[in-house]
Amino acid sequence: MLLELNNLVLSYGSVQVLKDISMEVDKAQVVTIIGANGAGKSTTLRTISGLAKLKSGSITFDGHRIDTLPANKIVAMGISHVPEGRRIFPDMTVEENLRTGAFLRKSRSEVGDDLDSIYSQFPILKSRRTKNAKTLSGGEQQMLAIGRALMARPRVLLMDEPSMGLAPVIVDEIRKIIEQIKENGVTILLVEQNAELALNLANYAYVLENGKIALEGPAEELHDNEQVRTAYLGI
Amino acid sequence: MIELLLQTGLNALFAAAYLSLVAVGLVLIFGVMGVINFAHGELFMLGAYVVVALYTNLQMPFFLVVAIGLIFVGLVGIVMEMTMFHPLRDNPLGGLVASIGFLMVIQALIILGFGVRMEHVPPVTQDVIVISEKVRLPVQRLFVILSALVCLSALWLFLKRTKFGWALRASAQDPEAAMLQGISTRTVSIIALFIGAALAGVAGSVAAPVISISPVIGHSVIVSAFIVIIVGGIGSLEGAVLASATYAFIHTVITTFVDGVIADIVGLSLMLMVLIIKPTGMFGTQDRV
């Protein structure tokens, strides 16, 4: 298993946010976590990338324990995080944002090549490369946040609500981008409130409720599950 | 009259040069650490005393001493990061109070070493560029102006063209997102403290032969620098430079034509007006650096 979360427990003060969460993410898969607001989806991703510290439990990546490492070391292991709300650097240009994503990379020529491939994948970013990131539209900012994470050449990409606040046309574009990343062999752990989108993209899914896993299974099965359909797909 | 204005302009340019070096360092440290370094004027003062010790007393070459001043005061900045700003990183007010304590310690150490008297550093050169009969620029002052231009350009290139420059700006704008790119915020804060302190140090060193030096000169420098960064917008490096030039010009003109105390009053009133009309400063936004 590429990424394993074992019995994660985390609390903010007296509030338990994660109550015994265990998940497995296999190589070259898209695994999704769906659930309502405040179920602990984002927090789960934040524990993986080292932004939130566990009370108990462990996280292993490729056989190495990573839950004791600081966030910048976890990126170096090959896990990149596209955070909730995009979190691009507003007063830096598009190109500076992308190059910052490659902060840990040594080879300048490889970074240059990757920049070119990001630009061919996201032509809109190329046309905006010298503009400050805060001048981009929401969809463009999301593409920039994804492009920035890809610049680190991650083996696992953690994506937190990539469709949030975007128009349906743009959501469709994001869907294609995620499919493309998957085809390139990058493993994806996707957090989404848009369960329809998530279950269509994913191989396997976890449903989170109040910091616990309420349900899990192959995404297709969950898509047809009566409970999931009424609670999350609104059908 | 025109000649007097020209001369005042040159004087203002000199004042703007060292003031902007101090103010930009202050803004840089605030941007990355979120803390106001009250001891920043003392870093300027330390730079001047490096010149007193090594150039006046030991007669080492002036420009070598300026380079030593830059590095030494930069290292003092790193010491501040390690002893105060890092341990108090979750407590900006605590960092500010600690820096006030640090200011007093540095002043006391300098008084122990040099006494409270005024120090006069002999100028490196007595040459004066004569533009016309009444418009003259001492070469020693030109050194200060050129040093500011060189240092600020170098800083600009660092921030816009290098990987660590991007890392520094990224950390100032969103520390958590910067960590997610593999940037160590600790490394960034050490770099910011080194550069911020070194700029104040080099300003003090290069200006030493043209100002009167005493253990308390940091005070007047920091007051001007605070006015400047508030007027310019506390997170804006460009704002700090432009506001330094504006403030230095207004202050010098009023000092020349009216009186120095009135000039201070006008400077502070200007700051109050900006705070009332545009609290983020002339060039400030809520974003930093």
pLDDT in tens, A217-230: 999 999 998 888 88
pLDDT band (50, 70, 90) for residue B281: confident
Tokens, residue A153: 């050449």
Predicted pLDDT of residue B236: 78
Say yes or no to pLDDT of B288 above 60. Answer: no
Whether residue A155 lies within 8 A of chain B, CB to CB, comes out as: no
The reply to whether residue A80 touches residue B167, judged by beta carbons under 8 angstroms, is no
Which chain A residue is nearest to residue B184, measuring alpha carbons?
A72
Say yes or no to pLDDT of B235 above 80. Answer: no
Say yes or no to pLDDT of B283 above 90. Answer: no
Whether residue A147 lies within 8 A of chain B, CB to CB, comes out as: no
Q: Minimal CA–CA distance to B81: which of B28, B154, B158?
A: B28
Predicted pLDDT of residue B234: 78
Query: Does the interface predicted TM-score (ipTM) exceed 0.90?
Result: yes
Residue A29 CB-half CA count within 13 A: 17
Tell me chain A's radius of gyration from C-alpha atoms: 17
Tens of pLDDT along B149-200?
A: 999 999 999 999 999 999 999 999 999 999 999 999 999 999 999 999 999 9
Phi, psi angle pair for A221, to nearest 5°:
-65, -45
Classified by CATH at the fold level, domain A3-90+154-233 comes out as Rossmann fold (3.40.50)
The reply to whether residue A50 touches residue B179, judged by beta carbons under 8 angstroms, is yes
Distance CA B272, CA A116 (A): 49
Cβ count near B190 (within 10 Å): 18
Say yes or no to pLDDT of B286 above 60. Answer: no
Distance CA A207, CA A215 (A): 5
CA B71 → CA B67, B182, B190, B222, distances in Å? Answer: 6, 28, 14, 21
The reply to whether residue A89 touches residue B179, judged by beta carbons under 8 angstroms, is no
Tokens, residue A98: 């992308």
Predicted pLDDT of residue B245: 87
Q: Residue A196 contacts by C-beta under 8 Å, 6 or more apart in sequence?
A: A233
- In terms of phi and psi (left: phi > 0; alpha: psi -120 to 50; beta: otherwise), the region of A57 is left
Domains of chain A: which residue ranges?
3-90+154-233
Domains of chain B: which residue ranges?
14-217
Test mutation, B180, B186, B191, B285, chain A, max A CBs within 10 A: B180
The reply to whether residue A51 touches residue B176, judged by beta carbons under 8 angstroms, is yes
**More reliable by pLDDT, B2 or A23:** A23
| From B170, B176, B184, residue closest to A100, measured CB to CB | B170
Mean pLDDT of B121-144: 92
Mean pLDDT of A50-71: 96
The reply to whether residue B182 touches residue A76, judged by beta carbons under 8 angstroms, is yes
Contact assessment for residue A124 and residue A47, using Cβ atoms and an 8 Å cutoff: no
Cβ count near A16 (within 10 Å): 16
CA A104 → CA A52, A58, A63, A99, B178, distances in Å? Answer: 21, 25, 22, 10, 12
Distance CA B171, CA B88 (A): 17
User: In chain B, where do the E strands start and end?
Assistant: 128-130, 136-138
CA angle in degrees (0–180, nearest 5) for A190-B181-A163:
30
